[in-house]
Every structure is written in structure tokens, then in C-alpha cells.
Structure 1
Amino acid sequence: MNWIASLPMYNVTPALAADWRAFLADVLRDTAPLTHIVEADEPLHTFWRRADLLISQTCGYPLMHGLHEHVQLVATPEFDAPGCAGPNYSSVIMTRADGPVHSLETSRGLRVAFNQLDSNSGMNALRHVIAPLSRDGSFFSEAVVTGSHIGSLTAIAGNRADIAAIDCVTMAFVRDGLPQLAQSVREVAWTQASPGLPLVASSDVDASTVEALRSALDNALRADPVRAKRLRLKGFSTLSLTDYARIEQLENEALAFGYTRLA
């Protein structure tokens, strides 16, 4: 089979996108040199389900809501970023630097921004932390879907929203590469932790290739320590779907409060 590969999740700046592509090329060099590195030109939910997908990165929420039937876990990156502990990560809840929000409670009745309905970091983890504060399934006055964490931060900075939960790895990359945007927002609180964004392969990839990919990830990390530092990569863990059930736990705890959606 002619394989494809892509790392679409943390391309916060063009420089980071180039580093991720070079890192992926090193991973593939020893495992599947004829694999095509591609930019996903179709919805990610469709892309991740392709039978010819050798390796890509997804979010834990769609993984636990059907995607696990089509892919297998390869590894979970460990990042050097505030809010990360081993393969686990949290979201940092941000507001406008000169805005009125100084705690979660003071954001009641204001506008929330989030990247996607199926995002663990932007939606699910935030829903979980807001749920105990909700009343009759409501807390915010308006919910704005922005399409990306950068979009959510831009909405806050531009006074189109008041609060958002941002993947802590993304926020670290924003501080590294987009200082003006970083300075326009400030931290309010943190969500609880859950396993980070996993690297996955199609279920059609054989076990020996998956093991080779795991070795190649470690080799690519060691091959260029300077690049690894720019990517904030410390290593990789091998997790199971049982570990990722933590994401469903966060969801179920929010639902127990009757808080089914950000509202």
C-alpha cells in the first residue's frame, strides 16, 4: 500500500509547521521512506479514518467517540510546557488582558469561545470545570465556535469573546512564536488533566510497523536536540484506550451536573 502521513495539530506558526514536517520526514526515513507526507485536504474526521494512514495526530475526544474503531494508538508525545506532566496535559483558561474576568465565577453571563465541538482541550475540559457552576444547564450568555485555538485567542483579544480554554501546548507555542497575541491575553484558571493528543495509525498497519514507528519517533527526537527543543518534545509514552477513558470521565462528570454543552 502507498501510505500517507501528516502531523496537523500543532502547526501554530509556519516555522513550527516546517519543524514538524522535518521531524515526520526523519520518522519515516527508516520505517516507510515511500510514504507521502501530505496536508490534509479533507475534513480531519475523514482523513483520520483513511485505510492508508500510516501516522497522524488526533485529539482524544474524537478518538473516544468512534475513531478508535478505525485507528490504533502509536504513541503520545510528552511536552515541555506548563500544564504538561508526562503524556498528560491540561488546558489553560484565558481571558483578555484588560478584561473583567478574574475567576471562573466572574465569567458567568459572558461570552465563551471554543475551537471545535469535538475538542477535548477547548470544549470538553472547559465544560467539565464550568459544570459545577452552571445553573439549569447554562452559564455563559453566548458560545462562539472559532475553528482553532488561535481563533479563540484572537476572538478574546478582539473583544468578540471573553474566555476560552486553550491546549497548554498550543499556548506555549503561542508564547514562543506569537508574542503579541500572547500579551493580549492572561491566565484565569486551569482545567483538569487528561492524556494528550495521540499519534495514531490506521488499523490496517501491521504490528511490526507500529513498533518500528515507535522506535523511529525516539530516534528522530534524539537526532536533532535543537529541533526537539523548538518543538518542546521530551519523549513519547505508549498509552491504551483505558488511559484515554479519562476524557469520557470528564464528559460524564459534566453531564451529571446537567451541563451538556457550553452555554
Structure 2
Amino acid sequence: MSSQDPFDSALDLLRRLSPKNITNNLSTLVALSPELTEDLLSAIDVPLQISRCKKTGRDYLLCDYNRDSDSYRSPWSNEFDPPLEDGTVPSDRVRQLEIRANEAFDVYRELYYEGGVSSVYFWNLDDGFAGVVLFKKSVEGAAGVKGTWDSIHVFEAVDRARIAHYKLTSTVILNLVSESGSLGELDLSGNMTRQTEQDLTVENDDSHIPNIGRLVEEMELKMRNLLQEVYFGKAKDIVGDLRSVGSLSEAQKERSVHAEMISKMAGGSK
């Protein structure tokens, strides 16, 4: 009997463990199998970490797409921390697009998230460019209520004659926690991934920014609605099946009215 591939085994194990602990579980697997480090880090989406650019003082998000060795590139200064002499950076043309995209999505973040942190990273392709748009928002309310939303939008833009072909892969990681002495602990964690492809008109390089923004905006709204149905709608259905929200007297009254209607219908059919 042939043995299973170690990488497939690692992915299979991570799918069966709690998504809340994905970062720690991934670190443990990397420590156990260092040869799988690059493959696992590029294949598994984990909650984003925040760092601060030493040159500009602005926060930015860490991910596998702005990592080179053990250093991370700031989208604001284009410099690595810790410093890296030969770190991979985009070409001048793509870097200018990256700068404009960070400015545009910073406005988008403020409008839609009213806080949080955003970062955009671009890199070169032979027939165009690719990038990732990141958002992170954490909230902490009263009575131990906490929530974290991480959005990871990876795209490719292939240049054609006055048209660009965009392929977008979006992942949302949601973590909701409520701790109460009277109600106990509620932990709702998980992620969702969706893909889309579109051909959009391109007049010049500046056209890429609104095109990418439109794709990301539509995907985020769609995934938010899906998450609301999956997380909250299903949870509401389950709780409703377990415990009625109406009083006992109301339930008995409804059953009596229902029985009376059935009786009258049966009597009228004779």
C-alpha cells in the first residue's frame, strides 16, 4: 500500500483541526516538517499579523506575498524589515501601480470598515502583473465579545489589447468569540474562499486600479452576505429548533387554532 504524500497529509490534518488555532497548528507542522515550510505557507491562509513601518510610522499587514526569507516588505516605504539587501521588489512601473492601489484601498478601508488596516502588494508577471489586497479589522465589545475579520484577495492581471483578464481568488477568515459568566463561551470561527474571472477594458495603467477595486468590492459584498447566511442564519435555525422563542401559552394557542382549522376542513369535505 502506497504511503500518502506528506504535504497532502498536512493539509488533511489542518482541515480537521479548529480554524481558530490555524496559526499555532501551522507553526507546529512547520516545526515537525521543515521541508514543507514553503509549500504550507503558500497554501494555507492564516489570520494576518500587523507590523509598523519604521520609516513612515504606518501600520501594514504581513503575509506570504510580502515576505522574503525572514523579512517583510512595507508597502509604504518599499523597504524590508529586518533590512534585506537583495529582497525582491516590483519593477518601477508595477511599484507605481502598487502605490496608487494602497492609497485607493486605504480610502476603501475607511469607508467600508471604519478602521482596521489595509495593505496592497504587487509583483511582476511575464505577461502582466499580480497582487494581493489585504484587510484586517478587530473589534472588542462589552461582556467579552470579540471579533476579527481578515480578507485576502489574490489576483492576476494579464495584459491584452485594450483589455485585461483578471483572475481573483478571495478568502475571508472570520473569528467571533463571546465569553460570559452566565452564558458560557461561544466560539464561531471559519473561512470561505471564492474565485471569479473577468475581462475588463483598460485605457492605460491607471485603469487597473478601479478595475481591481470593483472586483474586490463585489466579491467582498457577496462573501459577506454568504457568511451572514452560513454563520448567523444556520445558527439561528439550529437554536430555533432547540428552543422556541415564544411563550408556552402562545404555542398552545397556535396549536389549538391549527387543530380547529384542520377539523373544520375535514368536516367541510364530507
TM-score range, shorter chain: under 0.3
TM-score (norm 2): 0.24
- Say which one has the larger Rg: 2
Q: For CA contacts below 8 A with separation 6 or more, give which structure has more relative contact order.
A: 1
> Larger strand proportion, structure 1 or 2?
2
